[in-house]
């Protein structure tokens, strides 16, 4: 999914044997979760502070009050809005395989379309708006989110999801990351 505007790869993903020792606990945790070290985390391993910070943020986001389906929707909507090819495919695959979201929902999120599910649609809409407008949202959009059944504190959890995905999306922009074979399923969503 490389475009003519992207830079050449600045960083090569590191395996555990080549990674700095201080990032090994992160890589080992990620490997336990996924069964392999995704190229994104191998790329982050080039900068241990970035790898550890990113890992801590994503772990905390998974502890948010959102369901696994809602979490994947926030991560996917952010990646699609940021035009992050690697994360869009990875979260399309995760949404389908782990969160069991239907293909039509995943495709709608990726394509910027509305969903029939009013509550999920409100979550996607506010996420897209916050990404597109760099954290700004009009009172009507916030009220629509709350009216759909969410709590105001959950807006801060959306910001956490946006932050973590923006970091990885921007890394992918700066140093295009090859999609892992396990995430290729995201193409077929």
Digit-by-digit pLDDT tens for the chain (189 residues) are 444 454 577 899 999 999 999 999 999 999 998 899 999 999 999 999 999 999 999 999 999 999 999 999 999 999 999 999 999 999 999 888 888 899 999 999 999 999 989 999 999 999 999 999 999 999 999 999 999 999 999 999 999 999 999 999 999 999 999 999 988 765 655
Name the CATH superfamily for 66-188: AhpD-like (1.20.1290.10)
What's the Cα-to-Cα distance from 128 to each of 9, 80, 125, 145, 180, rounded to whole Å? 28, 9, 5, 12, 26
Residue 129, number of CB atoms within 10 A of its CB = 19
Residue pair 163/57 in contact (Cβ under 8 Å)? The answer is yes
CA–CA distance, 145 with 126 (Å, rounded to integer): 7
Domain 15-63 has CATH 1.20.5: yes
Domain with CATH 1.20.1290.10 in the chain: 66-188
Domain with CATH 1.20.5 in the chain: 15-63
Give the 3-state secondary structure of residue 124: helix
What's this model's pTM, rounded to 2 decimal places? 0.90
What's the Cα-to-Cα distance from 132 to each of 10, 79, 163, 168, rounded to whole Å? 26, 11, 13, 16
Helices in the chain by DSSP H: which ranges? Answer: 24-34, 39-44, 48-62, 68-81, 85-97, 103-111, 118-132, 139-147, 154-174
What's the Cα-to-Cα distance from 96 to each of 70, 79, 89, 140, 163, rounded to whole Å? 12, 16, 11, 31, 22
What's the Cα-to-Cα distance from 103 to each of 69, 94, 169, 178, rounded to whole Å? 13, 12, 22, 23
């Amino acid at each position: 999914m490389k475009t003519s505007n992207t830079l050449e790869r600045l960083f090569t993903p590191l395996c555990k044997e080549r990674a700095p020792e201080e990032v090994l606990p992160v890589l080992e945790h990620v490997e336990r979760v996924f069964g392999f070290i995704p190229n994104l985390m191998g790329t982050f391993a080039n900068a241990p502070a970035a790898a550890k910070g990113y890992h801590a943020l994503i772990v905390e986001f998974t502890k948010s009050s959102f369901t696994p389906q809602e979490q994947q929707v926030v991560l996917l909507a952010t990646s699609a809005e940021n035009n992050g090819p690697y994360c869009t495919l990875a979260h399309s695959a995760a949404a389908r395989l782990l969160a069991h979201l239907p293909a039509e929902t995943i495709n709608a999120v990726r394509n910027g379309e509305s969903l029939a599910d009013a509550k999920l649609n409100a979550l996607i809409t506010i996420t897209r708006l916050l990404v597109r407008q760099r954290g700004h949202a009009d009172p009507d959009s916030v009220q629509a989110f709350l009216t759909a059944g969410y709590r105001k504190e959950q807006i801060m959890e959306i910001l956490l999801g946006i932050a973590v995905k923006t970091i990885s999306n921007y890394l992918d922009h700066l140093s295009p990351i090859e999609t892992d074979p396990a995430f290729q399923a995201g193409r077929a969503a």
